[in-house]
Amino acid sequence: MKMKLFRTDLLQAGPPSDISVPHKENMMCLNESVLDPYQAIDEAFHQTMQDVRLNRYFSHVTSELKRLLVEYVGHGATKDNLLWGNGADDMLFACFLAARENDAAFAVSLAPSYFDYSTYSRAAGLGMKFIDYLSDFDFDEKEYLKVLNSPDCRLGVLCNPNNPTGHLLSAEKVLHILENTDKPVLIDETYFEFSGKTFVDRVSDFSHLIIVRSFSKSFSAAGLRFGYIVSQSQNIEEIRKTQTIFNTSIMVQAFVMTMLLNKEVFLRHTAAVVALKHKLYEEMTQIEAIKTLPSATNFLTFSAGERSSALFEHLKQHEIAIRDVGAHPLLTKHLRVSVGSPEQNRLFVDTVRRFFA
pLDDT confidence tier of residue 38, bands split at 50, 70 and 90: very high
Q: Is the pLDDT of residue 3 over 80?
A: no
- CA atoms of 250 and 247, how far apart (whole Å): 10
Mean pLDDT, residues 228-245 taken together: 98
Query: Cα–Cα–Cα angle for 154, 100, 204, nearest 5°?
Result: 55
What are the respective helix, strand and coil percentages of the chain, to the nearest 5? 45, 15, 40
- CA atoms of 115 and 237, how far apart (whole Å): 28
- Domain final residue pick, 240, 263, 286: 263
| H or E segment and range at residue 210 | strand 209-214
CB contact at 8 A, 307 and 245: no
Strands 26-27 and 227-231: unpaired
What is the SS3 string spanning 55-96?
A: CCCCCHHHHHHHHHHHHHHCCCCCHHHEEEECHHHHHHHHHH
User: Are 169 and 31 members of one domain?
Assistant: no
**Given this model, what pLDDT does residue 19 score?**
78
Mean pLDDT, residues 204-226 taken together: 98
Please report whether residue 213 resides in a domain.
Answer: yes
User: Are 128 and 171 members of one domain?
Assistant: yes
Widest pairwise Cα distance in the chain: 66
Distances (CA, A) of 78 to 38, 74, 253: 28, 8, 18
**By residue range, what is the domain housing residue 338?**
22-35+264-356
H helices of 50-203, in order, are 60-73, 87-99, 117-123, 141-148, 171-179, 192-195
Please report whether residue 7 resides in a domain.
Answer: no
CB contact at 8 A, 355 and 325: no
User: Are 154 and 287 members of one domain?
Assistant: no
Q: Is the pLDDT of residue 99 over 90?
A: yes
CB contact at 8 A, 194 and 274: yes
User: Are 79 and 203 members of one domain?
Assistant: yes
- Burial bucket for residue 49 (CB in 10 Å: 0-12, 13-18, 19+): middle
> What backbone phi and psi angles, to 5 degrees, belong to 132?
-70, 140
**Given this model, what pLDDT does residue 13 score?**
79
User: Are 213 and 281 members of one domain?
Assistant: no
pLDDT confidence tier of residue 14, bands split at 50, 70 and 90: confident
Taking each helix axis as running N to C, give the angle between helix 263-285 and helix 342-356, from 0 to 180 degrees, rounded to the nearest 10: 20
Mean pLDDT, residues 130-144 taken together: 97
Q: Is the pLDDT of residue 1 over 70?
A: no
Q: Is the pLDDT of residue 17 over 80?
A: no
User: Are 218 and 228 members of one domain?
Assistant: yes
Mean pLDDT, residues 302-318 taken together: 98
Please report whether residue 297 resides in a domain.
Answer: yes
Please report whether residue 2 resides in a domain.
Answer: no
**Cα separation of the two ends of the chain:** 65
Please report whether residue 9 resides in a domain.
Answer: no
Of residues 16 and 160, which shows the higher confidence score?
A: 160
Mean pLDDT of the chain, nearest integer: 96
With pLDDT > 90 as the criterion, what percentage of the chain qualifies? Answer: 94
pLDDT in tens, 274-283: 999 999 999 9
- Domain final residue pick, 235, 263, 291: 263
Q: How many domains does the chain have?
A: 2
- CA atoms of 294 and 327, how far apart (whole Å): 20
| H or E segment and range at residue 302 | strand 299-303
Mean pLDDT, residues 138-148 taken together: 98
- CA atoms of 310 and 206, how far apart (whole Å): 48
User: Are 206 and 268 members of one domain?
Assistant: no
pLDDT confidence tier of residue 20, bands split at 50, 70 and 90: confident
Please report whether residue 8 resides in a domain.
Answer: no
User: Are 41 and 165 members of one domain?
Assistant: yes
Beta bridge partners of 73: none
Q: Of the ranges 11-15, 102-106, 263-267, which one carries the lowest mean pLDDT score? A: 11-15
- Burial bucket for residue 289 (CB in 10 Å: 0-12, 13-18, 19+): middle
- Burial bucket for residue 91 (CB in 10 Å: 0-12, 13-18, 19+): buried
pTM exceeds 0.85 for this model: yes
| H or E segment and range at residue 259 | helix 250-261
- Domain final residue pick, 228, 244, 263: 263
pLDDT in tens, 40-71: 999 999 999 999 999 999 999 999 999 999 99
pLDDT confidence tier of residue 298, bands split at 50, 70 and 90: very high
pLDDT in tens, 157-194: 999 999 999 999 999 999 999 999 999 999 999 999 99
